[in-house]
Structure formats: C-alpha cells, structure tokens
Amino acid sequence: MTAMHGLAEGPACPAPVAETERIQLGHGSGGKLSAELLRTHFLPRFGNPILLALGDGAVVPGAETLVVSTDSFVVRPLEFPGGNIGHLAVHGTLNDVAMMGAVPRYLTAAFVLEEGLELTVLDRVLDAMAGASRATGIPIVTGDTKVVEHGKADGLYITTTGIGSLGADFRPGPDRAAVGDIILVSGPVGCHGIAVLAVRDGLTFDAEVESDTASLYPLVASLRSELGDAIHVLRDPTRGGMASALNEIAQASGVGMRLTEESLPIPEPVAAACAMLGLDPLYIANEGVLVAVVAARAASQALAIMQGHALGRGAARIGQVIADRPGLVRLATGIGGERIVDLLPGDQLPRIC
C-alpha cells in the first residue's frame, strides 16, 4: 500500500453548478450541493435540537442511552467486487450507530423493488444481509416491502434503521475535535468507490480492487475499552469520502485540520485508477474505514490498537487538528506545497453507497 503523490496536480476543479429549481445528482454527493439542500429545504422544516446536532445518528431525549440512525442505499450495479447492496445496507447503518459511540442492538429494513428484478439477484442480496446480520449479532426485527414499475428503482433500493445503546462514558461527536488532536484513519482509502466504478464501467486494472464493506463496531469497541473518552470524534467517510467527513468535523468543531499527503494510505491500484480517470481519492467513498480524532496523549496507543485489529491493519496517522483557519482542511503535498481540501460542489461518482 502506498500513498498517492501529486494530489495537488489532481483533477481539475469541477465547474460551478448554477442555481436550479430541480434536484440534480450532485445534491446526493455529500458535498456543497448536499449541504445546501439540507440547509435550505430540510432543516428549516424539520429542524429541532436533536436533528441540528447533525451526527451520524440521534440521541433520543428521555432515553439518553438510545441512539437511532437511518440510511437509504442506492448503488449501481447492485453487485460489485467484495459485496453487494445488502452488505452496504447492514454495515453502513451499523457503522453510523457505532460512530456515535453506541452499541448496535437492532436493525429494521425497508425495500423498494423494481418490477423485473430477478429473484436470484434479490436472494443474493437478502442472503448478504442475513449473513451480515448473523456475523454481527444484530437482528433485523421489522421492515417493509414495496414494488414500483419497471425503470423506477435501479432494481432495488434499501433503507435500514439502526438502534443502539449509548453509555455515559463514551460520547464521540463531530463537535469534539480539539486543537492538538491527532487524525487517524483505520485503513486504505478509496477502495469501495473504485470497486463500484470498475464493474459499472467495465474497467480493468492490474490488480482487482474490492469494496472494503465491513461492520466497524468491533474496532470501535476495542478503542472504547482501551482509551474511552480520549477518542473525541469517530466518522465513517462514506458518501463524499475522507474530504467531506473531515470538512464536516472541522466545521462542527470550529477548528482547522492539516493533513500530510505522504501519510495517506491510498493503495496503488486506487491511486492509479484515480490518476487515469481524473478523480481525487480523498473524495471516493469508503464502506469499511473510520476516521478517528484522538487526544494527542492517546494517539500512539490508538494507532497501535487499530493496527493490531483485523479491521485496522492498514491504519495510519494522517494529520493534526490546528487552530489556524477554523473550518478548513488543508493538505501538505509531497512537493512542498499546500492546498485546501474543500467540499466538492458536485459529484465525482454517483450512486455508490
């Protein structure tokens, strides 16, 4: 695994997106359009103190130990190297619960099926969900199924909701990053998005790239048991990738962040694919990687815990939280320069999680 050099010379900036009265694909990117959609259309109507925390899940008042998170999964194709939409639906929601510091307990699942979907494909997706549920010990306890006309659902959409229990001694949150904290990532960056892109567009690489989809709770549990409240922030960088996740943390905490390009664990096949296609790996979705912002005193131990765990063997220290330029993420490049890692205005790669 090697870091990708020359990110500063990476893809050209996407063209600015004009104001529109209709939804565009970029509204689902996790970037600037997504944030604007949330800020101008959803929050004014649904805004409440719980929702406005904008975490991966919600801590429900009156039952302070309860965390609830919900997510919808759309991906084309439904199956890809390393998994399928069923794996994503279970792992993705369990990971959101885990990033809140909670212990996942139950899942619900709702399906929108498209007329004409092959039952053998549906069975493979359901088998993947059942297998992931058994492997994690988290049962799917209720759900719903709807069918829509041919051409209306890309085959299959899944929405899952996770319920977990939260202790008083472990409350990581996006607003808890503090100056001096160290930024860690648990493994290679960009594998999921490139795996989906490769099969979608019929691309072949010297080495096959597989999705990293996995439930991250066992890794979180190890960090919690050893370091507790020294883990300030946890985030799984899915839609919008590492860049979007770190920008959200920096803005929520009112701090700056400085990353080091040479420390980024970007596998060579991912780096090569991104260079060939004009993509930036920092914006590529991941499904089995977490970002941890950790108190400086505990950073070395946290990294050792990650690297000693099956889910974190490729973990790396990638940067630090700083006071300069609150809300901005900057990258020190391999050629001695520096660039801002901003939210994308549009979407590099739609429908991958």
CB-CB contact of 347 with 26 (8 Å): yes
Q: Which residues pair with 104 in a beta bridge?
A: 164
Residues 200, 284, 180: CA angle, nearest 5 degrees: 165
Percent of the chain with pLDDT over 90: 73
The answer to whether residue 109 sits within a structural domain is yes
DSSP letter at 227? H
Please indicate, yes or no, whether residues 152 and 118 belong to a single structural domain of this protein: yes
At 162-207, the pLDDT tens digits run: 999 999 899 999 999 999 999 999 999 999 999 999 998 888 877 7
Q: Is 207 helix (H, G, I), strand (E, B) or coil?
A: coil
Give the pLDDT of residue 250: 97
> Given a cut of 70, is residue 222 above it in pLDDT?
yes
The answer to whether residue 243 sits within a structural domain is yes
Q: Which residues pair with 145 in a beta bridge?
A: 111
- The whole-chain average pLDDT of the chain stands at 90
The answer to whether residue 32 sits within a structural domain is no
Total of domains in the chain: 2
Please indicate, yes or no, whether residues 246 and 310 belong to a single structural domain of this protein: yes
CB-CB contact of 258 with 330 (8 Å): yes
Please indicate, yes or no, whether residues 118 and 183 belong to a single structural domain of this protein: no
The answer to whether residue 236 sits within a structural domain is yes
pLDDT interval class at 344 (50, 70, 90)? confident
Please indicate, yes or no, whether residues 86 and 176 belong to a single structural domain of this protein: no
Please indicate, yes or no, whether residues 221 and 288 belong to a single structural domain of this protein: yes
Q: Which residues pair with 157 in a beta bridge?
A: 112
Nearby residues of 197 by Cβ (< 8 Å), 6 or more positions away: 203, 273, 277, 349, 352
CB-CB contact of 44 with 52 (8 Å): no
CATH number of the domain that 136 lies in? 3.30.1330.10
Domain end call among 104, 135, 165: 165
- Per DSSP (E only), the strands in the chain are 58-59, 66-73, 79-80, 83-84, 103-114, 140-148, 156-165, 182-185, 231-235, 256-260, 291-294, 316-322, 329-332, 338-340
Dist. CA 208–CA 216, nearest whole Å: 23
- CA-based nearest residue to 251, from 264, 263, 239, 235: 235
CA atoms within 13 A on the CB side of 64: 5
Q: Which residues pair with 257 in a beta bridge?
A: 321, 329
Domain end call among 109, 130, 165: 165
Domain end call among 126, 146, 165: 165
Q: Domain range for residue 157?
A: 58-165
Dmax of the chain from CA atoms?
Answer: 56
The answer to whether residue 16 sits within a structural domain is no
The answer to whether residue 327 sits within a structural domain is yes
At 224-247, the pLDDT tens digits run: 999 999 999 999 999 899 999 999
The answer to whether residue 256 sits within a structural domain is yes
CB-CB contact of 259 with 341 (8 Å): yes
Please indicate, yes or no, whether residues 114 and 257 belong to a single structural domain of this protein: no
At 42-66, the pLDDT tens digits run: 888 887 887 887 777 888 877 678 9
Please report how the helices 299-307 and 217-227 are oriented relative to each other, as an axis angle in degrees rounded to 10.
140
Q: How many whole angstroms from its chain centre is CA 76?
A: 17
CATH number of the domain that 206 lies in? 3.90.650.10
Please indicate, yes or no, whether residues 331 and 185 belong to a single structural domain of this protein: yes
pLDDT interval class at 8 (50, 70, 90)? very low
User: How many other C-beta atoms are found inside a 10 Å radius of the C-beta of residue 145?
Assistant: 9
CA end-to-end distance (rounded Å), the chain: 24
> Given a cut of 50, is residue 339 above it in pLDDT?
yes
- CA-based nearest residue to 352, from 209, 141, 204: 209
User: How many other C-beta atoms are found inside a 10 Å radius of the C-beta of residue 298?
Assistant: 21
The answer to whether residue 131 sits within a structural domain is yes
